[in-house]
Structure 1
Amino acid sequence: MEDLLQVGVITTTHGIRGEVKVYPTTDDAHRFEDLTYILLDTGKELCELEIEKVRYFKQFVILKFKDVDNINDIEPYKGRSLYVTREFAVPLKENEYYIADLIDMKVFLEDGSFFGTLKDVMETGANDVYVMQTEAFGEVLVPAIKDCIKAVDVEQGTMTIHLLEGLC
């Protein structure tokens, strides 16, 4: 299991006073209001930044970090990810999972045979779609619905699925 969970990506700077426009990669963009700090992936290390102010603009979150008061201080981090530790993650409801915990999960069919590896999660309006890489069929898209997803064991890193007709 991942210890860090991505909550956003810096898309660009906002103004000249060091604010950034963040594309949230979390279900609830307003969760930034509950955070006192965030971890920035600088490319070399994780840097802890204290959140000073949170605003919203369309689908973006505008963040101002303490002691970052100039556009030049934050501009090199465009495109970089923002993380929280698992202890600050939003609690999950039943049958909900963090995407980071699903990536690279081994997928098995109901009969116990190995099917493939979960490589990505596409978030759609109705339900998520799991992108699975298989040896036999290449890339297979499986909807994350009860009819298809029979069991998920995050601790073991495994998923059991029922393959609906026409998916392969």
Structure 2
Amino acid sequence: MIRASESFFYILGNRMKQLLTIGKITGAHGIRGEMRVMPMLDVTEQFFSFKTVYIQKKGNKPQKMNVQNVRLHKNMVLLTLEGIKSRNDAEALINTTVCIDRSQDQLEEDEVYIADLIGIRVFDKKNSEIGKITDVLTNTGSVDTLEIQLRNKAKKIYVPFRKCYFYQWDLDQGTMLADIPEEFFDL
């Protein structure tokens, strides 16, 4: 299972990213500083468990803020943050991202963040490099799909992210071992 969509900056000496994006502020809701957030999580209800978030404006340092209230409304999250008291305050944050520190979320066994998959080099059973993961498609049905840019080719292949195809990964090293059937290369 894949949890949050993307991340923002690296911990020194580790390829794992520290902040994970969980949503994007798309508008103000009402006049008291509540904001509409487009969620970027598999389970939107996870928003209820976060006590603090980071607001990331493009090009600026993330700002840590306390969560005052969370509500769900029409496939959106309505979020109230400490210090955001008016519609004008909320509108000033439109198009910013809402992030959490990865330590706030615990992955289950065999779960991985999408952000940690992007850029992973994929190898076959003979340890020959197949290519690099360039995207994760999450709207392809019940199983997410990995987009892999083939090594030394302009071609990309799309493979369901299943343990039978991707049987071992080392996120710290940025590698994944795969047993991808030949028909995926011919599509």
Residue correspondence of structure 1 range 57-136 to structure 2 within 5 A? 57-89=73-105, 91-124=106-139, 125-134=141-150, 135-136=152-153
User: Secondary structure of 1:23's match?
Assistant: strand
Q: Distance in 2 between matches of 1:85 and 1:33?
A: 15
User: How many residues in Structure 1 have an aligned counterpart in Structure 2?
Assistant: 167
CA-atom RMSD, angstroms? 1.5
Residue correspondence of structure 1 range 24-43 to structure 2 within 5 A? 24-43=39-58
- Structure 1 length normalisation: TM-score? 0.92
Aligned residue number for residue 153 of structure 1: 170
Question: Structure 1 residue runs of 4+, over 3 Å off?
Answer: none
Aligned residue number for residue 138 of structure 1: 155
Change (3 A) 1:92 1:2: same
Identical-residue share of aligned pairs (%) = 31
- Structure 2 length normalisation: TM-score? 0.83
Q: Distance in 2 between matches of 1:161 and 1:137?
A: 20
How far is 1:97 from its partner?
A: 0.6
Could you tell me which runs of 5 or more consecutive residues in structure 1 were left unpaired when the two chains were aligned.
none
**What per-residue deviation string (whole Å, max 9, x for no partner) do you get for residues 41-100 of structure 1?**
0221111121111111121110011221112112132222111111101x2222111111
Q: Distance in 2 between matches of 1:9 and 1:109?
A: 37
More strand as a share of residues: 1
User: Secondary structure of 2:47's match?
Assistant: helix
| 2:180 paired with 1:163 | yes
| 2:26 paired with 1:18 | no
How far is 1:137 from its partner?
A: 5.1
